[in-house]
Amino acid sequence: MITTKTKEELFFDDLLGECIRRNASDLHLTVGLPPVLRVDGVLRPVEKAAVLEPAFTETIKNITVENAPQIKHLITEDGGADFSLNFKNLARFRVAIYRQKGCYGLALRLIPNNILPFEELGFLPNQVPRIKNLLNRPHGLILVTGPTGSGKTTTQATFVDYILESPCHVLTIEDPIEFVHSHKNGLITQREVGVDVPSFREAIMKGLRSNPNVILVAEIRDVATAEATIWAAESGHLVIGTLHTTNASETVTRFIDVFPPEIRDQIRIQFSISLLAIFAQRLLPRATGRGRIGVFEIMSATPAVRNLIRERKIEHLPSAIQSSVAEGSCTFDSALAELYRAGKITFEIALMNAFDPRALREMVEFGIKSRYAKG
């Protein structure tokens, strides 16, 4: 039986198609405004589109929910929901439904079907072999951090895609499932909180019975999830987790401080032993003016780093990162300098985002002088 789409459904399809064509990261549907796309980090209204009425956003809310029947029981009393939606096998969208000023609004985040290689994420060529070595480790904890919209999910997807080149079992625990992985040479099990399992903690603890080699925890939100994450890493699994923190030092503090004060000393020891690396990232505009690229602070868990964590000397971690470049660490500012030298970002963008603009200038000038000296 062929069903004819309503004009609202056809317009919604057009908007999702426009989002894909323009490689927008997000689509916002808000009453009182035309549809708005976020392209390269900048909000841009859809040209020639009419201002949205309450009836339209409510209709689109109903359409998205009908196309994701598995989440109907998750809708909150105020009509809110957070789930993923497949669009014509072209892409997936993470959908957030909310209420504002008595009307429905929607924010849809584009999840492309293609998974990026390491270099396209923004990693430097000399970093990639070390990262792959980390991902080949049999157990330990890797944290990918950054603010909302900084590309953490995309980075995690690349990590998982690489791991699946080997014959191993990867369990992902997500809310909702975003990138859909193929098995490749391994086995991938993707479980969605609220649909397949009631919570991140329960998914981790029960997931251990399914014999995974690698566990991806899409978000470490609370003490129960953090505790289960540490336990999984200690019990012989490689665990990849996410926190909404801006740098390695803040990540260490946030992870440990989520626990009650009376057990933090013990958690600090466990965390220092399990930790392999922290990747703190941001997305910045490319020099071409089209697209964005990731910039990464990388803290490898060297003996010095582990010792500083155990001794609560978190303020010394930035210095430890600077002194452990040979072990794979990289400060955010040095990553900016390298991306500028490679022509990936402009000097203005690098300077604007540097933690220490003066030091960045010196790194750039030193790099230029070094190249002339070699020539």
Residues 197/191, Cβ–Cβ less than 8 Å:
yes
> What does the pLDDT read at residue 83?
87
Class of domain 118-330: alpha beta
For residues 97 and 52, give the distance between their C-alpha atoms in angstroms, rounded to a whole number.
15
> What does the pLDDT read at residue 89?
83
Q: Could you report the per-residue pLDDT of 107-133, keeping only the tens digit for each?
A: 999 998 889 999 999 999 899 999 999
> What does the pLDDT read at residue 336?
96
> What does the pLDDT read at residue 74?
58
> What does the pLDDT read at residue 81?
80
Burial string for 137-157 (b: 16+ CB within 10 Å, else e) reads: eebbbbbbbbeeebbbbbbbb
Tell me how crowded residue 199 is: count the other CB atoms within 10 A of its CB: 17
Query: In sequence order, what are the beta bridge partners of 104?
Result: 99
For residues 345 and 343, give the distance between their C-alpha atoms in angstroms, rounded to a whole number.
6
Residues 6+ apart with CB under 8 A from 60: 8, 12, 29, 104, 106
Class of domain 7-112: alpha beta
Residues 6+ apart with CB under 8 A from 209: none
> HEC string of 74-112?
HCCCCCCEEEEEEECCCEEEEEEEEEECCEEEEEEEEEE
For the chain, the first-to-last Cα distance in angstroms comes to: 71
Residues 6+ apart with CB under 8 A from 181: 115, 157, 160, 161, 164, 170, 172, 188, 190
For residues 144 and 150, give the distance between their C-alpha atoms in angstroms, rounded to a whole number.
10
Among residues 172, 149, 182, 189, the alpha carbon closest in space to that of 282 is found at 149
Both tokens assigned to 200:
């991140």
For residues 328 and 321, give the distance between their C-alpha atoms in angstroms, rounded to a whole number.
9
Residues 212/233, Cβ–Cβ less than 8 Å:
no
> What does the pLDDT read at residue 373?
37
Amino acid, single-letter form, for residue 241: G
For residues 76 and 54, give the distance between their C-alpha atoms in angstroms, rounded to a whole number.
19
What is the domain partition of the chain in residue ranges?
Answer: 7-112, 118-330
Among residues 216, 271, 248, 238, the alpha carbon closest in space to that of 134 is found at 238
Q: Could you report the per-residue pLDDT of 39-54, keeping only the tens digit for each?
A: 999 999 999 899 999 9
> What does the pLDDT read at residue 79?
62
Counted residue by residue, the chain has a size of 375
What distance lies between CA 81 and its chain's CA centroid?
20
Residues 6+ apart with CB under 8 A from 237: 139, 208, 212, 213, 214, 215
Amino acid, single-letter form, for residue 311: E
Residues 6+ apart with CB under 8 A from 146: 152, 244, 245, 246, 280, 281, 282
Q: pTM for this structure?
A: 0.90
The one-digit pLDDT tens for each residue of the chain (375 residues) are 456 788 989 999 999 999 999 999 999 999 999 999 999 999 999 998 999 999 999 999 988 887 766 655 556 556 678 888 888 888 999 999 999 999 999 999 999 888 999 999 999 989 999 999 999 999 999 999 999 989 999 999 999 999 999 999 999 999 999 999 999 999 999 999 988 999 999 999 999 999 999 999 999 999 999 999 999 999 999 999 999 999 999 999 999 999 999 999 999 999 999 999 999 999 999 999 889 999 999 999 999 999 999 999 999 999 999 999 999 999 999 999 999 999 999 999 999 999 999 999 988 887 644 443 343
Both tokens assigned to 145:
């951090």
